[in-house]
Amino acid sequence: MKQRQEPLIFDLSREGRMGTTLPEVDVPEISIENALPEGGIRKDLPLPSVSELDVIRHFTHLSERQISVDSSFYPLGSCTMKYNPRVNERISRLPGFTSVHPLQPEETVQGALTLMYELERYLAEIAGMDAVSLQPVAGAQGELAGMMVVRAYHQSREDDARTTVLVPDSSHGTNPATAARVGFQIAKIPSNERGTVDIDALKGMLGPNIAGLMLTNPNTLGLFETDVVKICEMVHDAGALLYCDGANMNAILGKARPGDMCFDVMHFNLHKTFSTPHGGGGPGAGPIAVKDFLKPFLPVPVIEKDGNRYWLNYDKPQSIGRLHSFYGNFLVMVKAFAYIRMLGAEGMREVSENAVLNANYIMSKLKDIYPVPYDRYCMHEFVATAKEHKKRGVKALDIAKRLLDMGFHAPTVYFPLIVEEALMIEPTETESKETLDAFIQAMIEIDRESREDPDMVAHAPYNTPITRVDEVGAARKPKLTCFGE
Partner 1 sequence: MLQSIGAPSVDTLFEQIPAEARLDRNLRLPPGLAEQDVVSLLEGMAARNKHLGELTCFLGAGAYDHFIPSVVDAVISRSEFFTAYTPYQPEASQGVLQSIFEYQSMVAALTQMEVSNASLYDAGTALGEAIIMAHTTTKRNTVLVSRAIHPHYMQVLSSYVSGLGIKIGKADYADGVTNLTAMREHLDESVAAVVVQYPNFFGGIEPLEALTEAAHAVGAFMIVCVDPIALGLLTPPGAYDVDIVVGEGQPLGIPVGFGGPFLGLFACKQEHMWKMPGRVVGATTDSEGRTAYTLTLQTREQHIRREKATSNICTNQALMALAATVYLSALGKDGLRHVAELTFQKAHYAQQQICGKAGYSAAWNVPFFKEFVIRSDKPVDQVNQRLLDNGILGGLNLGKYYPELENHMLLCVTERRTKEEIDRLVELL
Binding residues for partner 1 restricted to 405-434, rule: CB under 8 A: 409-410, 412, 415, 433
Compute the least distance from the CB of residue 388 to partner 1, in Å: 22
Can you tell me the distance from the alpha carbon of 174 to that of 184, in angstroms, rounded to the nearest whole number?
A: 13
Interface with partner 1 includes 231 (CB under 8 A)?
Answer: no
Q: Which of 160, 292, 470, 485 binds partner 1 (CB under 8 A)?
A: 470
Interface with partner 1 includes 68 (CB under 8 A)?
Answer: yes
CA distances from 423 to 294, 381, 418 (A): 37, 10, 12
Interface with partner 1 includes 10 (CB under 8 A)?
Answer: yes
Q: Which of 236, 309, 313, 345 binds partner 1 (CB under 8 A)?
A: 345
Interface with partner 1 includes 299 (CB under 8 A)?
Answer: yes
The size of the interface with partner 1 (CB under 8 A), counted in residues, is: 196
Compute the least distance from the CB of residue 231 to partner 1, in Å: 11
Please identify, using beta-carbon distances, which residue of 80 and 391 lies nearer to partner 1.
80
Rg, Å, the chain Cα set: 25
Kind and range of the H or E element at 281? none
Compute the least distance from the CB of residue 370 to partner 1, in Å: 15
The strands making up 382-385's β-sheet, listed across from edge to edge, are 382-385, 422-425, 412-413
Residues 22-51 that bind partner 1 (CB under 8 A): 22-23, 25-30, 32, 35-37, 39-43, 45-50
Interface with partner 1 includes 81 (CB under 8 A)?
Answer: yes
Q: Which of 282, 313, 371, 455 binds partner 1 (CB under 8 A)?
A: 282
Mapped to the 3 state alphabet, what secondary structure does 174-203 carry?
Answer: HHHHHHHHCCCEEEEECECCCCCECHHHHH
Taking CB under 8 A as the rule, which mask of x and - marks residues 382-401 in contact with partner 1?
------------------xx
Can you tell me the distance from the alpha carbon of 412 to that of 403, in angstroms, rounded to the nearest whole number?
A: 12
Other beta carbons less than 10 A from residue 171's beta carbon: 24
Residues 108-137 that bind partner 1 (CB under 8 A): 108-112, 114-115, 122, 125-126, 128, 137
Compute the least distance from the CB of residue 113 to partner 1, in Å: 9
Kind and range of the H or E element at 114? helix 110-127
Can you tell me the distance from the alpha carbon of 197 to that of 234, in angstroms, rounded to the nearest whole number?
A: 12
Q: Which of 149, 294, 343, 372 binds partner 1 (CB under 8 A)?
A: 343
Compute the least distance from the CB of residue 248 to partner 1, in Å: 13
Interface with partner 1 includes 168 (CB under 8 A)?
Answer: no
Q: Which of 73, 129, 132, 141 binds partner 1 (CB under 8 A)?
A: 141
Please identify, using beta-carbon distances, which residue of 233 and 451 lies nearer to partner 1.
233
CA distances from 212 to 237, 240, 265, 275 (A): 11, 5, 10, 30
Nearest Cα to Cα of residue 190 among 199, 181, 182: 199
Q: Which of 203, 375, 393, 466 binds partner 1 (CB under 8 A)?
A: 466
433-452 and 330-366 helices, crossing angle to 10°: 60
Q: Which of 348, 424, 457, 458 binds partner 1 (CB under 8 A)?
A: 348
Handedness of CA 388, 392, 394, 395 (dihedral sign): positive
